[in-house]
Chains A and B, each alone.
Chain A
Amino acid sequence: METNLKSKAFQEFSNAAETLVNPVLQRWKDQGGKVVGYFCSTVPEEIITAAGLTPFRMRATGSTGTEESDAFYSSINCSFPRHCFNQVLTGDFKFLDGIVCVNSCDHVRRIYDNWKRFVPTDFIEMMSLPRKTGPDQVGWYTEELAMLKDKVGKHFGVEITDDRLWEAVKLHNETRRLQKKLYELRKQEKPPITGAETLAVMVAGTAMPKEQYNEKLRELLDELSGTEGPGGHRARLLIVGGILDDPAYIKVIEDQGGLVVTDSTCFGSRLMWVEVDENASDPISALAQYYLTDRPSCPRMYGEHDNRAQYVIDMCREFNCDGVIGERLIFCDSWLVEHYMLGQDLKAAGIPMLKLDREYLTSGIGQLRTRVQAFLETMGR
């Protein structure tokens, strides 16, 4: 991606965000390492890491069409699973040694069914993710995670002990702390890293073994520490939405002068703003508690809208944002209604919001530019 950052570490993150198999991941594979793909940020990467595997968050980077998957999906389906399953069919995910799915949304959950029926795969698992976030649901999800742990361990021939799990929790919490430090830098008046660049760093974090990722992120933080960006932006923005993994989309917004300084997305701050409790009695229930209840939720979860809205408002204040951009993949019911409500909440809080529908592959750039420009102008910027 186009960047002013001279950092070698950032270049590696940027490359990782632009491809499925980045060089670090490829080296891992070449050395006999295994990779397990997972859909949705509610799947605990820690269990995969604890098994000595590398977790890989599923995305459809590099997809150019849906010719193959069109026979399995319809035109009223979100373009993310259509592109992703297209890549499954064309063999782009052959580097994966297994898949873990949850019933995240109506579109993505059917990838499990289509994949299982039409593409031979040694290890593919489905978990039942509750719709609520109370103690009874944490209990349910704890059982789901315990079963997943056993299945992963059995299939890959690894005993996933509590010690290994705690080790993984600590490693992933370290990732979260480092990523949060990166976000903290963006609170500066002239942040040393843009929103697009930050997204590349975050996406890379879901596609590399965590030790190497953390090492490189420390390197990047050292380089950025005490520096500042060019400034001169027209407004500071927060972006809120679902699976946004393409830095180029944010770059279009930033090229209009709207600097994205923070977010509430599932490749962004919702992944790391809080940590897994390392003092809990057992690691599996700590993970269930974290993934279901403690971390900021996405709108598939019932009864949490007020908390989600408050999270956005708090982030806006913390990062001194002038406005919010809500992005939604077309045909996503969850984010459609969420943005409808959030627009009202933000209005009451005096924060302007622009709602944008988009396709998974960044397109319609001219229209996007125009809408962002108009939004900035309505804010008097």
Chain B
Amino acid sequence: MVDKGLERTIAERDHFEFLLKFLEESPYETSHLLIPLVKANLEHYKDTVRYIEEGKPIIASYFSNAPEIFTAMDIHWYCPVSAAFAGAGANPYLMNDLEGADKLAVSSDICTLLRMAMYYTEAGLLPRPTAIVGMIIPCDGIVALHEASRRSKQWRGIPMFAPDPPYFTDERSIDYFAQELRRMVDFLTEHTGQKLDIGRLREVVEVTNEQYKLWQEINELRRAVPCPFNWGVGGGPFALTQNRWVGDLRGLEWFKAALADSEKLVKAGKGWLENEKIRLLWFDVHPTWFFDLAPWLEEEWKAVIVMDMFSYCPYTLVDTSSEETMFHDLAKRNLMDTTMIRQAVGVADNFASDLVRIVKDYKIDCVVWPAHMGHKDGAASVGIMREICRDLGVPFLSIGIDTFDPRYTTPDEVKNTMSQFFTAMGLG
């Protein structure tokens, strides 16, 4: 019987081989930052194939589950939605995947990412994991996805644990989530046989701490006018702290290189873009078709994505002095820092205060809320965002897109909407 999960993983691995070769043969300005990201992905897929072929335990998990713990336990894991997140550049099967998801008997008003994940599971396109660590945060849809995964034909019977996220971020909540992470460790040990070495966890966290420090420095430099940061590597910090090369020194090197690029431009009084005219806050994650939109924004409107949801986090540094402090701070980091989790979980004050701070600190000219069709808590917060921007005197645009499906609102339609907005607001 054909193992479709293995087949697909091999195909994705081969695609990253191709991408790497292409980038190495056609160097351009940001190749030195993109190549390590592709290498990290390639290595990941190679390891996944090897683990499947050797019959070793593999975990399916998601971001915000303290990936430092996985690294410290020497557990290989993959994220079931990484292909959906990758976009057409890194996932040549994107349109087929979307069409496959469309065929599920599930209405399209649920987040496309979740429909795609259901499709990947039901179609057997994911490697069958030994166990699953779920993520039941920050939206209703993700909880539903996990219920569907549990009872799908392909994954039925696979043990699953999901840390329960409290709604608040006070000390009591952080302590509760830290206990959930401890229970996750017990679960992983039970199902993989791997044990957590606290000394190893400290080593890993010390590296991610350094990564977060550099990330903070990069973000500090993004305040500069003109902005030195390029949208194209915007997802890198997130990928390297929550997904690939977590706690790996090569990831640290990437942050150093990214920081050096920004420092060089700031020292020279230059921005990534010449004649920067519009400083834009893209208040969500990048859509997978951003490669179509962002260069156009730069060329047509001299608009720079100064800050976005992938990049903005408060950089909780983990106190490595004891096991207790590490679990406490990892809980805090994963409840309060992670992309989308920070903004969507909990009361609206969380994202509202970020919005105010970003607009002020980053000298933002306009705020764009892309309004991804799956972000329903955000859709229910649009009045709050609008009011904040009105108080700050910053134009606000809500579009209505699908982060994962360019057919929902096409890139051309988005461009048209943004052009009308910039023109009406006298920007650019």
Interface residues of A (CB under 8 A from B): 71-78, 81, 103, 105-107, 109-114, 117-118, 126-132, 136-137, 140, 143, 299-303, 305-306, 330-334, 336-338, 340-341, 343-344, 357
Could you list 16 A-B pairs, sorted by A, with CB under 8 Å?
A76-B400, A77-B380, A109-B380, A117-B387, A126-B167, A128-B168, A131-B136, A136-B179, A302-B162, A303-B150, A331-B109, A331-B376, A333-B110, A333-B140, A340-B106, A341-B148
CB-nearest residue of chain B to A118:
B383
Name the one of A105, A117, A306 contacting B384, with C-beta atoms under 8 angstroms: A117
**A-chain residues with CB within 8 Å of residue B202 when the two chains form the complex:** none
Given contacts A74-B382, A110-B380, contact A336 B105 (CB under 8 A): no
Size of the B side of the interface (Cβ < 8 Å), in residues, is: 54
Q: Are A113 and B381 in contact (CB under 8 A)?
A: yes
**B-chain residues with CB within 8 Å of residue A357 when the two chains form the complex:** 107
Given contacts A113-B348, A140-B176, A300-B143, contact A72 B167 (CB under 8 A): no
Q: How far is B221's CA from A379's CA once the two chains are assembled, in angstroms?
A: 67
Q: Are B147 and A337 in contact (CB under 8 A)?
A: yes
Q: Are A337 and B380 in contact (CB under 8 A)?
A: no
Q: How far is B147's CA from A131's CA once the two chains are assembled, in angstroms?
A: 12
Q: Decide if B164 is an interface residue (CB 8 Å cutoff).
A: yes
Q: How many A-B residue pairs have CB under 8 A?
A: 151
Q: How far is B145's CA from A75's CA once the two chains are assembled, in angstroms?
A: 23
Given contacts A110-B381, A131-B165, A331-B109, 19 further A-B contacts (CB under 8 A): A73-B379, A74-B371, A76-B109, A77-B380, A103-B167, A106-B377, A110-B377, A112-B347, A128-B173, A132-B136, A136-B180, A136-B183, A301-B143, A302-B146, A303-B162, A333-B376, A337-B118, A337-B145, A340-B148
Min distance, Cβ B353 to any Cβ of chain A, angstroms = 12
Closest 8 CB pairs between A and B? A72-B383, A337-B144, A110-B380, A113-B348, A128-B167, A74-B379, A333-B141, A106-B377
CB-nearest residue of chain B to A74:
B379
Interface centre among A76, A332, A334 (most CB of B within 10 A): A76
Q: Decide if B386 is an interface residue (CB 8 Å cutoff).
A: yes
Given contacts A336-B106, A336-B110, contact A74 B139 (CB under 8 A): no
**B-chain residues with CB within 8 Å of residue A131 when the two chains form the complex:** 136-137, 143, 162, 164-165
**B-chain residues with CB within 8 Å of residue A126 when the two chains form the complex:** 167, 347
Q: Are B377 and A109 in contact (CB under 8 A)?
A: yes
Q: Are A74 and B380 in contact (CB under 8 A)?
A: yes
**A-chain residues with CB within 8 Å of residue B144 when the two chains form the complex:** 299, 333-334, 336-338
Q: Are B376 and A114 in contact (CB under 8 A)?
A: no
CB-nearest residue of chain B to A69:
B383
Name the one of A74, A113, A128, A334 contacting B166, with C-beta atoms under 8 angstroms: A128
Min distance, Cβ A65 to any Cβ of chain B, angstroms = 17
Given contacts A131-B164, A330-B109, A333-B139, contact A305 B380 (CB under 8 A): no
**B-chain residues with CB within 8 Å of residue A332 when the two chains form the complex:** 140
Q: How far is B140's CA from A246's CA once the two chains are assembled, in angstroms?
A: 24
Min distance, Cβ B382 to any Cβ of chain A, angstroms = 5
Q: Decide if B114 is an interface residue (CB 8 Å cutoff).
A: yes
Min distance, Cβ A141 to any Cβ of chain B, angstroms = 10
**A-chain residues with CB within 8 Å of residue B146 when the two chains form the complex:** 302
Given contacts A72-B382, A131-B136, contact A106 B167 (CB under 8 A): no
Q: Mark B376-403, 1 if CB is under 8 A from A, else 0.
A: 1101111110110000000000101000
